[in-house]
């Protein structure tokens, strides 16, 4: 079995609205920079189709990177 890890940045979803029990939440004007759900879905597919283990969005640049494992691991 192999697991992959997607490390997102702020993503436009219903989470903010639900977590604050709001009737409506608009990311534009409230959040300086964010990704759309479609962008994150594309990143997830890129990770799935790659032989890398980690897909990470840099929160300062919003650049997406595919990486090998970050921490050492051992195979059994």
Residues 32-46: tens digit of each pLDDT: 899 999 999 999 999
How many distinct helices (H) and strands (E) make up the chain? Answer: 2, 5
Reported as a pLDDT band with limits 50, 70 and 90, residue 74 is confident
What residue numbers bound the domain in which 35 lies? 5-67
To the question of pTM greater than 0.85 for the whole model, the response is no
Rounded mean pLDDT of the chain?
Answer: 91
Q: Please indicate, yes or no, if residue 25 is contained in any of the structural domains.
A: yes
Q: Please indicate, yes or no, if residue 76 is contained in any of the structural domains.
A: no
Q: Please indicate, yes or no, if residue 73 is contained in any of the structural domains.
A: no
Q: How many domains does the chain have?
A: 1
27-66 residues labelled b (16+ CB within 10 A) or e (exposed) = beeeeeebbeeebbeebeeebeeeebbbbbbeeeeeebeb
The pLDDT score that the predictor gives to residue 70 is 86
């Amino acid at each position: 079995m192999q697991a992959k890890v997607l490390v997102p940045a702020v993503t436009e979803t219903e989470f903010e609205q639900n977590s604050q029990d709001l009737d409506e939440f608009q990311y534009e004007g409230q959040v300086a920079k964010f990704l759309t759900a479609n962008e994150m879905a594309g990143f997830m597919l890129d990770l799935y189709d790659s032989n890398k283990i980690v897909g990470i969005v840099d929160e300062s640049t919003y650049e997406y990177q595919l990486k090998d494992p970050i921490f050492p691991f051992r195979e059994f």
